[in-house]
Amino acid sequence: MRKIACISVFMLGLILSIFSSTVYADPPMQAFYAAVMKMAPEGKLGQVIKQEKIETSVKGAQAWKIAYISSDISGRKTISTGLVVAPVTPAPAGGRPIITWAHGTTGSAQNCGPSQVIDPVVPLNEYFLLGGNSWTDYGIPAVEELIAEGYVLVATDYQGLGGGGRHQYSVSSTNAMDTINAARAAGSMKQTGANKKTVVYGWSQGGGATIALAAMPQYIGQTGTAFDNLDIVGFVALAPQDISIFAPAGNLDQAGADKYFQGLQTMFFDNVFNFTHATMYYWGTQAAFPSLKLEDVFTDEGVKVANQIFSNKCMHVSSDTFNFLYGSNFKTLLKEKPTNTLAWAKAMLTGGVPLNKPIAPVQIYFGSKDTAVPPMMHKLYQDQACKLGGNVGRVQLPGEQSHFTTPGSAKPFYLSWIKDRLAGKPLTNACTN
């Protein structure tokens, strides 16, 4: 047994020595994305800088891969990629509403954008579910039904997932900017026949982007974009994450920052799957706020391993790699006592869901058995948004739904909700119920 243990330690050391000498290069990319990554992020927000028509099996639909201009929480211009899907029939006189989709966690490497899979324009296809046929989640929820209703769909990949730069994973405000700029991009394409009416929907990471965008009136209302004056009539958030909601109220001091940081680690370090999400969030936050140092949180070994994994691998493969190398010892990659926690906590709050009244009704759907995004997270968000004067509904789905069954189980509910919002039907304020 001792000899086997020695061999295991030797192999681990050999693997880590390879990590330490590796140059962290972007993974191989398809031609469309390789070309985009060489482009400069110059132009109006939502401006399409590259597009390519692609095949889709969705009846009555035409589709394109696109690259467009976006920006991040620090005001830097970025390039995001994604998909646009529109009916093939001529647009009605008033044009078509836009539905913009914000996807859940797929990873942080350049090849993790959902638009990069073979035949990407399909109903949501989840890795974990029985019908999943890939190593990642991809597709657009209810794409067939929404196209049949005559809507224009757009699905961002987010910055850093095919357009160059480091992905700011779960920095909700940045992900929200990519989501609204995707809608501007779709609207600017004459082939889509889009009008200004818009609905935002998202899941998990994308649910966080959805509720963040609901609280960003200045960003939404700015002019000089590729498609100004979008009229957002509603937001649908499926199990939305909101890390910032757990921050102490009032001005954040060192003691509050330490407590906030420790609380997050206690909540999300219970298994290697959640650990991967949490540490990818650290990695993405540091990408958004370069003055932060990964060395504040990770050990020296942890910095090397995190950079290698998150620069090259998507979500589920990343989790498998942490599990293969470290098993139950994954926490050894982090410092026992992180430093500079006040700056980190302030960055997390800045990049999180803004503390503003939502500009339009928000509807949340969730499962009672969700262990990836604790339901208390969006309950606290609802309470906060209601106090600010918002209209935020929250529906627990029937049965024992998990995080991963939430999108499918919610579909019958949100399809009718979206149709009613676009039709201008009155909606009771859920905050007063």
- The parent domain of residue 337 ranges over 245-349
- Within 10 angstroms of residue 428's Cβ, the number of other Cβ atoms is 10
266 and 140, same structural domain?
A: no
Angle at 73 between CA 229 and CA 205, to 5 degrees: 85
Q: What is the Cα 257 distance to its own chain's centre?
A: 24
pLDDT of residue 9: 36
195 and 321, same structural domain?
A: no
60 lies in some domain = yes
Dump pLDDT digits (tens) for 98-136: 999 999 999 999 999 999 999 999 999 999 999 999 999
193 and 59, same structural domain?
A: yes
Which among 332, 349, 366 is the end of a domain? Answer: 349
310 and 183, same structural domain?
A: no
Indicate the residue type of 77: K
67 lies in some domain = yes
pLDDT of residue 25: 53
Indicate the residue type of 54: I
67 and 145, same structural domain?
A: yes
196 and 249, same structural domain?
A: no
224 lies in some domain = yes
Q: Which residues of the chain have pLDDT under 70?
A: 1-26, 433
Give the CB-side neighbour count of residue 202, counting CA atoms within 13 A.
Answer: 35
Dump pLDDT digits (tens) for 14-57: 444 434 334 445 677 999 999 999 999 999 999 999 999 999 99
**Phi–psi pair at 285, nearest 5 degrees:** -65, -40
392 lies in some domain = yes
**Residue linked to tokens 């290697």:** 272
pLDDT of residue 370: 96
290 and 184, same structural domain?
A: no
15 lies in some domain = no
The sheet carrying 362-366 orders its strands as 48-54, 61-71, 77-87, 152-156, 96-102, 194-203, 231-238, 362-366, 392-396
- CATH code for the domain in which residue 385 is found: 3.40.50.1820
7 lies in some domain = no
Look at the alpha carbons of 38, 43, 45, 47 in this order and tell me if their dihedral is positive or negative. negative
Which among 297, 330, 349 is the end of a domain? Answer: 349
pLDDT of residue 352: 96
229 and 302, same structural domain?
A: no
376 and 255, same structural domain?
A: no
Which among 297, 318, 349 is the end of a domain? Answer: 349
359 and 341, same structural domain?
A: no
Q: How many domains does the chain have?
A: 2
299 and 338, same structural domain?
A: yes
267 and 118, same structural domain?
A: no
420 lies in some domain = yes
Angle at 200 between CA 202 and CA 247, to 5 degrees: 60
Q: What token pair was written down for 371? A: 């262990």
12 lies in some domain = no
